[in-house]
A and B are shown apart, each in its own frame.
Chain A
Amino acid sequence: MQYLIAFLVGGTICALAQLVLDHTKLALPHVLVGLTVLGAILSGFGIYEPFVKFAGAGALIPVCGFGNAIATGMLQEVKRLGWEGLFTGAFEITGLGVTAAVVFGSVIALVSKPKD
């Protein structure tokens, strides 16, 4: 059941993004930034956490989940450290992912080459 919800929610977010891409002058980077910021804002309002509980990967995997991860990390660190947490928290949860992207990206870049 969770799988079905993840499918429907994730699919809907992507479908909405596609609609925006097709019918407005906005390009992909605009849409991705917009979704990320939306995720961060909803996280600040405390809405994203219940959304994740409901939709699971459907909420985590789209890039708004990334925005949520940044804000959640910041909040966690603020609770732990006070105001410094605002600065230490961004990569608390996303650090794993960003490091992964850099490491895998570098290895793959060194090993393969783009094709047509």
Chain B
Amino acid sequence: MAEKRIGQQTIILSNPPRIISHHCTVGPMEGRGPLAKYFDDILDDDLLGQTTPEKAELAILEQTINKTLNKKSLFVQDIQFYIAGDLLNQIISANFSARSIDTSFLGIYSACSTFTQGVGLGAILIDGGYADKVLSATSSHYQTAERQFRYPIELNVKRKPTNQHTVTGAGAVVLASDGDGPKITSVTFGKVIDLGIKDVNDMGSAMAPAAIDTLTQHLKDTGRTVGDYDLILTGDLSRQGKKMFTILAKDAGLSLGEKHQDAGVMIYSPQQPVGAGGSGCACSAVVTIGYVFKEMVQGKYSRVLIIATGALTNALTFQQGESIPGIAHAIVIEV
């Protein structure tokens, strides 16, 4: 078997790449949530003065990337790959953002699992000796997601309790073969899992099986237990998905308890009008970059497992009665 793999799906990074710079930006709704103090930038205007929300999402992404590079005086000419994705058709925010980043661009899509997919890919490129530095970023925006997947913003549609609120924000990291920062020690790329859930109002339940599959596979491959991690953070299952995840975990013989948190549940307070919680590519990104990294610096966590989750649907297929497969990519980050 290929020498850097163990078990079925996990890659061990023998020269763990370091996250040498990172930055996260969020919108006003997230800025009113319980994690507000952890975010690097909180915007007053979720449109950033732009004329369309698509332009705004791009501006937020670009701004976040610039800050990530500038704060550690990093230059694009030293970065061999830019990896990015988002929720919009043809990952247009990512594509457009790459216009101003003068290096090889790898656009990716795994819905809200894009963050860990991007960091995972960047990590293996570096560990494999294919790059010294990789920039990975992702973004999402409430209005652009609503326009593409759901309804006009002012439409009189009552939200269901399982609906989620797309996080407006962006997160970016620079990975390097050496330097200071948390290290990525292993990656488990997920399989697509489809258990026939068709309800687009309950994506949490659609994604939970993929999250469990990746988690159990990762633990099996590495021979570890839940106890080996200080935190297992799922991306955006939100309250309903978290409930299903916990049930499936119990069925699989895992007792998670407080070790398991979900970014979609954490990012908003129960009083905010956000249905079951947060979703969107930025959700897992900003909570990891904002909250998890800062708490790692404070010494609260030393080894964390981040499992971002994505619901693989598009605006048409659910109308055609198709189901919603899920996917979850996991990365292990250690101090």
Contact = CB atoms under 8 A, between A and B. Distances in A.
A and B touch in the complex (CB under 8 A): yes
Interface of A: 28, 114-116
B46 interface: yes
A114 B153 contact: yes
Contacts of A114: 143, 152-154
Nearest to B142: A116
A28 B157 contact: yes
Interface in B123-168: 142-143, 152-154, 157
A115 B153 contact: yes
B29 interface: yes
Contacts of A115: 153
A116 B157 contact: no
A63 B143 CA distance: 29
Q: Which of A28, A114, A115, A116 has the most CB of B within 10 A?
A: A116
Nearest to A112: B154
B293 to A, nearest CB: 28
12 contacts: A28-B157, A114-B143, A114-B152, A114-B153, A114-B154, A115-B153, A116-B28, A116-B29, A116-B46, A116-B142, A116-B143, A116-B153
Interface of B is mostly: loop
Given A28-B157, A115-B153, A116-B143, 9 more contacts: A114-B143, A114-B152, A114-B153, A114-B154, A116-B28, A116-B29, A116-B46, A116-B142, A116-B153
Contacts of A116: 28-29, 46, 142-143, 153
B154 to A, nearest CB: 5
A114 B142 CA distance: 12
B247 to A, nearest CB: 23
Nearest to A25: B199
Contacts of B154: 114
B55 to A, nearest CB: 13
Contacts of B153: 114-116
A114 B157 CA distance: 15
A115 B28 CA distance: 12
Contacts of A28: 157
A34 B246 CA distance: 40
Contacts of B46: 116
| 3 nearest A-B pairs in the assembled complex, by CB-CB distance | A114-B153, A114-B154, A116-B46
B45 to A, nearest CB: 10
B109 to A, nearest CB: 26
Interface in B20-59: 28-29, 46
Nearest to B53: A114
Contacts of B29: 116
Contacts of B143: 114, 116
Nearest to B151: A28
A37 B28 CA distance: 43
A28 B155 CA distance: 11
A62 to B, nearest CB: 14
A28 B154 CA distance: 15
A115 B153 CA distance: 7
Nearest to A114: B153
A105 B288 CA distance: 42
B162 to A, nearest CB: 13
A28 B153 CA distance: 16
